[in-house]
Amino acid sequence: MKRLLAVLVVGLFLAGSGAFASTTRDYSAHFGDMDKDKDKAVSWEEFSAFFPGAEKAKFEEADSDENGKIDHGEWHKFKDKHGYGHGKSK
């Protein structure tokens, strides 16, 4: 019985700590925070560094002109599509 209680306590702790967090990401980031080299474009490297574990498919979805970089306008269209307009978070 004590072992079961210990397992439940550890499980609740892990669940509360985010160890089993949803794969849904908060993409409400400001463009300038992701654009580390300040070239007015976010590369996959910058995107994945800002969102560790991000799926490349999300980057590709945001890169609507398929040039391998996300520009400011593309980022805001992506955010609007997913309900993360200016100042919004889910």
Residue 88 is predicted with a pLDDT of: 54
* pLDDT beneath 70: ranges in the chain: 1-24, 86-90
**Alpha carbons 62 and 65: distance in angstroms, whole number:** 9
Instruction: Quote the pLDDT of residue 65.
Output: 98
What is residue 40's predicted lDDT score, i.e. its pLDDT? 98
pLDDT of residue 86: 65
Helix (H, G, I), strand (E, B) or coil at 10: helix
The predicted pLDDT at position 87 comes to 56
Task: Give the per-residue pLDDT at 27.
Answer: 87
pTM metric for this prediction: 0.69
